[in-house]
């Protein structure tokens, strides 16, 4: 009888702690100096830190980093998949497909200046 009681308590205690977290899939790609996934400076890119900070501040979610290129990302978005990324530039067409947060950083446009 005692073992049955212990078994019932163990059974229900397992279910009280089991709750699947909602998952956030994050697009990552090796894009130095912004994101570095390989080599000596792995994890030291500017957006590596921002991604880490975002994930640490959203502990209620399960975070999955998926290495993908831009073509795959936009294909996933157009097919209504939930994929996030931390380094997007807002454009008119993109604004119709995705949601943007408040900017966390800014980047000046690339340019060559000659005298």
DSSP 52-92: HHHHHT-TTEEEEEEE--HHHHHHHHHTT--EE-S-PPP-H
Amino acid 112: pLDDT? 81
> Does residue 107 lie within any of the structural domains?
no
- The answer to whether residue 26 scores a pLDDT higher than 90 is yes
Mean of pLDDT values over 2-15: 50
Mean of pLDDT values over 38-63: 93
> Does residue 42 lie within any of the structural domains?
yes
- The answer to whether residue 75 scores a pLDDT higher than 80 is yes
CB 26 within 8 A of CB 63: yes
Task: Give the count of domains, the chain.
Answer: 1
H or E segment and range at residue 24: strand 22-28
pTM of the model: 0.71
Q: In the structure, what pLDDT confidence band is assigned to residue 83 with cuts at 50, 70 and 90? A: very high
H or E segment and range at residue 49: helix 46-56
Q: Which domain holds residue 43?
A: 19-97
> Does residue 108 lie within any of the structural domains?
no
> Does residue 51 lie within any of the structural domains?
yes
Alpha carbon separation from 38 to 32, 46, 49 (Å, rounded): 10, 14, 15
Residue the block writes with tokens 């067409």: 93
Sheet harboring 61-67: ordered strands across? 61-67, 22-28, 83-84
Smallest CA-to-CA distance from 52 within 96, 101, 86, 89 is with 86
- The answer to whether residue 104 scores a pLDDT higher than 50 is yes
> Does residue 70 lie within any of the structural domains?
yes
- The answer to whether residue 114 scores a pLDDT higher than 70 is yes
> Does residue 11 lie within any of the structural domains?
no
- The answer to whether residue 38 scores a pLDDT higher than 70 is yes
The CA dihedral of 28, 33, 37, 43, to the nearest 10 degrees, is -100
Q: In the structure, what pLDDT confidence band is assigned to residue 62 with cuts at 50, 70 and 90? A: very high
Amino acid 19: pLDDT? 62
């Amino acid at each position: 009888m005692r073992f049955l009681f212990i078994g019932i308590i163990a059974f229900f205690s397992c279910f009280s702690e089991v709750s699947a977290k909602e998952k956030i899939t994050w697009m990552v790609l090796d894009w130095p100096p912004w994101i570095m996934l390989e080599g000596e400076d792995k994890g030291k890119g500017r957006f590596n830190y921002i991604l880490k900070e975002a994930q640490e501040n959203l502990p209620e979610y399960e975070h999955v980093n998926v290495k993908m290129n831009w073509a795959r990302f936009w294909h996933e978005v157009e097919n209504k998949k939930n994929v996030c990324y931390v380094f997007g530039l807002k454009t008119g067409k993109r604004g119709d497909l995705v949601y943007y947060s408040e900017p966390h950083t800014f980047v000046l446009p690339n340019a060559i200046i000659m005298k």
